[in-house]
Amino acid sequence: MPAVAEERVLVVPTKRFHALGHFQGFSAEMGRYLPALLEGDDLSYRPRGDMEQDSSFKQLIPYMLFRYVDSEGVEHLFQYTRGGGQGEKRLHAKRSVGVGGHICSEDAAEKSSSHDVYREGMQRELGEEVIVDCEYRERCVGLINDDETPVGQVHLGVVHLCDVSRPAVRPREEDILEAGFRPVGEILAALDGFESWSQIVVRALFGDKQ
């Protein structure tokens, strides 16, 4: 059995998400969605291999953006190319502005609530993927749902914006390629080369900056 099928990831029934209010793209209504999704009694951990093909469940994915504002007030985002060793094969060679991944059953050890499990998984994924050598302020700013792609149909992104004091974020994983901070205007001009979640969130949060 492939290792990916043995990993058990946190999922919520798609019908619960739809009951809260289905949307396509980005929603800034955090209070409407995230507490209800994390407090429901129908959260479960299921084999990732099965969940990648089952659109009746949504895998909850923290998606962290790192923003740096330089001395002239120009916004920059950390961005990179996904290499072949990263987990979601359907996203390989795509550019991305998001760092994060699945919440796993191992994250639930000794945690008292689903909120704690989510934060534990988010911090684990962050530590596995990048090194942040500066202070930063993190806040949750919205959700991404993209039912127009096969990957998006089985995932629900929770967007966290991390404002860094200086551009000191670098890859820990060797499959995070061509990484670094780029001006938001440059990213907007080249969005066609980015994965769909990055396109959605950059347009939603920074689309008026071009």
User: Would you say 160 and 178 are in contact if contact means Cβ atoms under 8 Å apart?
Assistant: no
Is residue 114 scored above 90 in pLDDT?
A: no
- CA–CA gap between residue 180 and residue 186 (Å, rounded): 13
* pTM as predicted: 0.91
Give the tokens for residue 151: 């990957």
- CA–CA gap between residue 68 and residue 46 (Å, rounded): 37
DSSP helix/strand/coil, 185? helix
Contacts of 80 (CB under 8 A, 6+ apart): 95, 96, 171, 176, 177, 178, 179, 180
What integer pLDDT is reported at residue 115 of this predicted model? 84
**All domains in the chain, ordered by first residue:** 3-209 (3.90.79.10)
pLDDT digits (tens, 9 = 90+) for 115-142: 889 999 999 999 999 999 999 999 999 9
pLDDT digits (tens, 9 = 90+) for 163-191: 999 999 999 988 899 999 999 999 999 99
pLDDT digits (tens, 9 = 90+) for 32-81: 999 999 988 899 999 999 999 999 999 999 999 999 999 999 999 999 99
Main-chain phi, psi angles of 153, to 5 degrees: -65, -20
What integer pLDDT is reported at residue 91 of this predicted model? 47
pLDDT band at 210 (very low <50, low <70, confident <90, very high): low
pLDDT band at 82 (very low <50, low <70, confident <90, very high): confident
User: Would you say 32 and 79 are in contact if contact means Cβ atoms under 8 Å apart?
Assistant: no
99, 142, 146, 186, 205 from 209: Cα distances, Å: 22, 19, 23, 10, 9
Give the tokens for residue 56: 């009746």
- CA–CA gap between residue 97 and residue 124 (Å, rounded): 18
pLDDT digits (tens, 9 = 90+) for 143-162: 999 999 999 999 999 999 99
